[in-house]
Amino acid sequence: MRAEIDSAAKLVEQNLSLIKRHLDWDNAVQKLASLNQQAESPTLWDDPAAAQKLLKEREALTNAVSKIRALQQRLVDNIGLIELGELEGDDSIVLEAEQAIFDLQKECGRLQLETLLSGEADANNCFIEINAGAGGTEAQDWTQMLARMYSRWAESKKYKIELIDENPGDEAGLKSITMKFSGFQAYGWLKTESGVHRLVRISPFDSNARRHTSFASVWVYPEIDDSIDIVVEEKDLRIDTYRASGAGGQHVNKTESAIRITHLPTNIAVQCQNDRSQHRNRAQAMSMLKARLYELELRKREEAALSASASKTEIGWGHQIRSYVLQPYQMVKDLRTGVEKGNAQGVLDGDLDDYLEAALAQRIGGE
């Protein structure tokens, strides 16, 4: 057993060394010290755009450096506990420290992925759109289930969740929903989730208790800041107003505050109804449209395999990236990476990390 622990500890050390090399450790530590000093300058906010960029870079470096230091310290501490436990003949201390070292192996793998999330927009907040596909009420209920799954995952990462747009289903669930997740590397972690998700279950809406297959599409794209200049010509836009749906009081029922903007050259459409002000909804929708156009360009540059627009992908058979089977057995399988789990309810409760890590590792490895 001691040979296994020594091997595990050595692997952790090797992984940390690779992570530090990728991060350019010495320069990263010096850069962080410089950014911390600049952040304390009384003139920092004389240029708000530059200040936000500096603070964003500092947050990313602080996150990476602190995690590496914490893992290093935990490795040293647990090796010390093993030696102490062996010296005192306390097997419980030894076993606990050994398990901690095995856990460190997995954490190092995750951190290695985090340090590789260095794409242009990987550190950004993101929008996630979910649309019901084939399956009627079943698909609309599935759309709501997916929205809950991603929300639970985001909550576990301490991300802020903001509802942007919601279109209720005819009988149950949602026809579509758009949410914004705000937090470090939100887009980087979720960008591989774009695609069609398939559900197989006994329908709660079928009195004959038959098995149904439903589909919903997920589209993830990054929020962009003012430093990224996306030019959108007014002549290329079709702007529609409509009454906001769902709860919202008398104001929602009487005024057309909701906005839908369609970019005619690409057929990309975005909509927003989360504010009572039509002006603010329009500003949010324009921000989302620019983000979609930016994400489209990113995918072209990265030669991504996914379609250039969610609206151009049929939401049905042959296009799914993940299958969620609840009957006659329980299994969630990613069709790209082969990762599968029997605890379907755990996945639907937000346990997505294994799927996200495998998809990112595959994508990074192919770039």
Question: CATH homologous superfamily of domain 2-116?
Answer: Release factor (1.20.58.410)
What are the tens digits of pLDDT across the range 268-316? 999 998 788 888 898 889 888 988 888 887 777 665 434 433 444 455 5
What are the tens digits of pLDDT across the range 131-181? 999 778 999 999 999 999 999 999 999 999 999 999 999 889 999 999 999
Measured in whole angstroms, the distance separating CA 239 from the mean position of its chain's CA atoms is 29
Looking at the predicted structure, is the pLDDT value of residue 256 above 80? no
Per DSSP, the residues of 36-80 read HHHHT-TTGGGSHHHHHHHHHHHHHHHHHHHHHHHHHHHHHHHHH
User: Exposure of 277 by Cβ count < 10 A (0-12 exposed, 13-18 middle, 19+ buried)?
Assistant: exposed
pLDDT computed for residue 307 by the predictor: 42
What are the tens digits of pLDDT across the range 143-157? 999 999 999 999 999
Q: What percent of the chain has pLDDT over 90?
A: 44
User: Position of tokens 């399988």?
Assistant: 333
- Rounded average pLDDT over 18-42: 91
**CATH class (in words) of the domain with range 126-223+295-366:** alpha beta
Model's pTM, two decimal places?
Answer: 0.71
What are the tens digits of pLDDT across the range 54-110? 888 898 889 889 999 999 999 999 999 998 988 888 889 888 998 999 899 888 888
pLDDT computed for residue 228 by the predictor: 65
Looking at the predicted structure, is the pLDDT value of residue 317 above 70? no
Half-sphere exposure of 60 (CA within 13 A, CB side): 22
User: Position of tokens 């999330």?
Assistant: 117
φ, ψ for residue 341, nearest 5 deg? -140, 145
Domain ranges for the chain, please list them.
2-116, 126-223+295-366
Structure tokens at 367: 């770039």
What's the CA gap between 125 and 15, in Å, rounded?
A: 28
What's the CA gap between 61 and 67, in Å, rounded?
A: 10
pLDDT computed for residue 162 by the predictor: 95
Q: Is 88 left (phi over 0), alpha (psi -120 to 50) or beta?
A: alpha
End-to-end alpha carbon distance in the chain: 38
pLDDT computed for residue 349 by the predictor: 97
